[in-house]
Amino acid sequence: MHIPDAFIPIWQGAIYWIIALVFIALALRWARNEMSEEKIPLIAVVAAGIFALQSFNLPVSMGTSGHLVGGALAAIILGSPFAAIFILTLVLIVQGVLFGDGGITTMGANIINMGVIGGFVGFYSFKGLMAATGNVNIAAFIAAWLACVIPALACAVEMYFAGTFPLNEGLVAMGLYHALIGVIEGFVTVVAIRLIVAARPDIVDFKIEFPAAKGVDV
Amino acid sequence: MIEDLFFIEKQAYRESLMHRLDARVKIILAFAVIIAIVAVPYSIMVYTVGATFFLFFLILWAVSKLPLSVYGKRLVAIVPIWGIIILFQIFFKNKYYTDYHVLYTLPLGISIYTESVEFASILAVKFLISISFIILLSSTTKMQDLLQGASRLGLPAEIALALGMMIRYLFVFGYIFRKVNETLKTKCFDAFDRHLPYRYRLRQLGYTIGTMFIRSYEQGERVYTSMLCRGYGRESHLFITKKPLRGFEWAFLIISLTFIIAVPVTIWLTALRFF
């Protein structure tokens, strides 16, 4: 999902960068107002942790592997889509500049896909599903699945606009692959949230107790 | 990816003229090349521009005294996924060509087009040049120097502070990641072991990821508290000393930037005159 340089023309990359910068500014404002500016270092250290947990290979099928994006997890636990934008912006800068995973001219598009779309979709679908079902497992699973699939579809659409991949094939390939990975992301996110609620309920923004969380087998 | 963290930083600690060059010069050069190669239209002009930039990269790599195997190793870690997507281009038509000629027809009516092969190669050249300069930048510049260089170039103070904290703790989590993996191995747990139920494997990974999240949060809390003890507050920011570029660095930067701009412009003008 990390679009590298060359896959998006420079002018389109510039537009995505401008949109991303608006959301980065909003995320910084959120960090100042909601978290108090002093807590920025805390979020930065969590970003390093998210970077590390993205390195765990998750078995998909037929020997292939994927990894967690973590946007939904961060947004749900920290209680704001802007948390995901802030954290994933830091992660994507490090990945792009140090590891070459995701481009420089395409970083705006990547921030929009994984941070903005992933964060907003993950957070608000979780909130909506919680209101509708009251079940954290279902809400977190579907939210994490959507936060994985929809950014992937957005990535396919951006590459179609760029003229570097046809729309139908892109939507089918990205949609199917990430629908599969999304199931794993959803499952792992639910297990991770259950563990976090059991071990550190004070850091979780949504105030819900899991009946089964008391007996999590770690 | 975090496994490569130590390898990349180890290369950045080597000694060479390229390593000693101010981070600002390297950041500007790498970004300028990437913007220049991406800005070149999807046309065969990219071949000449790409070849010239790759020669420039090879010279800088030679100056850095880094073995080519380092470049190869890092390239192999990045290229495969997007390499496949570039390869798939040969089967698709795109908006950059109007006429398509079938080069080869495969079973099931799948065709390979001459123009699509050309487009895939153009994309590959642009991708390779961009990645090469990112590899050069990160292999010759320590992470802390990169951050200081970016700050001196005008990176907002809040982002610089957050990135600085993140970079510092990346290594801590790199070690934790290693430890967790070793622990899982000593317990004979393999996430890809088909003898274990799939659900069980995912649950264990979920707990591991949850633990990692809690550890990072708790580390963040400890860091935050210790920073408060040292007087950290709303007005605090990362202290970056002023460091003017040396004469040699100015000269290198100006000559290189002129070269990076002149190459695509000259080739474009030449193409206009002759075709």
pLDDT of residue A128: 92
Q: Which amino acid is at B49?
A: V
Q: What is the C-alpha separation between B88 and B102, in angstroms, rounded?
A: 15
pLDDT mean values, one per 10 residues, chain B (275 residues): 83 93 96 95 92 96 94 87 86 85 83 90 95 95 92 86 84 84 86 83 82 80 82 73 89 95 90 65
Q: What is the C-alpha separation between B255 and B253, in angstroms, rounded?
A: 6
pLDDT, tens digit (0-9, with 9 covering 90-100), for A164-218: 888 988 899 888 888 988 888 888 888 888 888 888 887 776 655 555 544 444 4
Q: Could you give the C-alpha distances from B274 to B52, B119, B121, in angstroms and in order?
A: 20, 22, 23
Helices (H), A54-133: 71-78, 81-94, 107-110, 118-133
Query: How many C-beta neighbours within 10 Å does residue B192 have?
Result: 12
Asked if B238 reaches chain A (Cβ–Cβ under 8 Å), the answer is: no
3-state secondary structure of B54: helix
pLDDT of residue B166: 86
Per-residue pLDDT at A37 exceeds 60 = no
B184: CB partners within 8 A, 6+ apart: B190, B191, B204, B208
Q: Where are the domains of chain A?
A: 10-215
pLDDT of residue A64: 58
Query: How many C-beta neighbours within 10 Å does residue A210 have?
Result: 16
Task: Assign A60 a pLDDT band (cuts: 50, 70, 90).
Answer: low
pLDDT of residue B4: 82
Number of C-alpha atoms within 13 angstroms, CB side, residue A90?
37
- Kindly determine whether residue B34 and residue A105, on different chains, have CB atoms separated by under 8 Å: yes
3-state secondary structure of B146: helix
Chain A stretch 131-170, residues whose beta carbon is closer than 8 A to a beta carbon of chain B: 163-166, 169
- Our CA dihedral for A89, A93, A99, A105, rounded to 10 degrees, sits at 110
Chain B stretch 20-79, residues whose beta carbon is closer than 8 A to a beta carbon of chain A: 31, 34-35, 37-39, 42, 74, 77-78
- Mutation test of the interface with chain B: which of A2, A11, A99, choosing the one with the most B Cβ atoms within 10 A? A99
Instruction: Output B230 or A122, whichever has higher pLDDT.
Output: A122
Q: What is the C-alpha separation between A192 and A140, in angstroms, rounded?
A: 10
- The CA distance from A175 to the nearest CA of chain B, in Å, is 15
Task: Assign A52 a pLDDT band (cuts: 50, 70, 90).
Answer: confident
Per-residue pLDDT at A82 exceeds 80 = yes
Reported as type and span, the H/E element at residue B160 is: helix B157-186
pLDDT of residue A213: 47
pLDDT of residue B229: 86
pLDDT of residue A218: 40
- Please say whether the dihedral angle defined by the alpha carbons of residues A178, A184, A190 and A192, taken in this order, is positive or negative: negative
Do residues A155 and A205 touch, judged by C-beta distance below 8 A?
A: no
- Kindly determine whether residue A45 and residue B216, on different chains, have CB atoms separated by under 8 Å: yes
Chain A residues in contact with B82 by the CB 8 A cut-off are 4, 7
Residue in A111, A159, A106, A158 with CA at minimum distance from that of residue B134: A106
Do residues B60 and B136 touch, judged by C-beta distance below 8 A?
A: yes
- What fold, for A10-215? Arp2/3 complex 21 kDa subunit ARPC3 (1.10.1760)
Do residues B28 and B257 touch, judged by C-beta distance below 8 A?
A: yes
Asked if B157 reaches chain A (Cβ–Cβ under 8 Å), the answer is: no
Instruction: Output A196 or A125, whichever has higher pLDDT.
Output: A125
Residue in A74, A181, A82 with CA at minimum distance from that of residue B209: A74
Name the residue with tokens 């100006």: B254
Q: What is the C-alpha separation between A151 and A161, in angstroms, rounded?
A: 15
Q: What is the C-alpha separation between A63 and A30, in angstroms, rounded?
A: 41
For chain A, give the percent of residues with pLDDT over 90: 38
pLDDT, tens digit (0-9, with 9 covering 90-100), for A11-31: 999 999 999 999 999 988 887
Q: Give me the phi and psi of B102, to 5 degrees please.
A: -70, 125
Q: What is the C-alpha separation between A196 and A203, in angstroms, rounded?
A: 8
